[in-house]
Structure 1
């Protein structure tokens, strides 16, 4: 039984965190995303094309969300990954 405890803890820790791969269909902006409601008015003109842009915010449930965007050749942002931290042990409340 003692050997099972660390595995259960690891399973809970991994289950608390979800992410979406860059190739996942349907990765759409959610409220709080930089591109929710369209591209931002200002463009990142000095950042190299292909540069990552990280963004963190809280969703409507108070969960921490991390998103990564990539700067496209037209200077727009493409949402490529999203990770939602769902409660213990990753909550920082």
Structure 2
């Protein structure tokens, strides 16, 4: 479930609420009891990790293609690249 940020227009109180996406927005401020809460727009504060994500999703620069680099032969191993006729 996402965490939504709210701010009261009446008193300026800020809060976070863990809600389902289908839940109705909160309206009543717990600090001043006015129906002046509004949702704030903010960036997500998480990072996707674990199985099922591409290795390159969060890599930059020369670390970007680690899986592809490991699959390529380096040419320094000697006779492992001999062709059969």
Higher strand share: 1
Rg larger for: 2
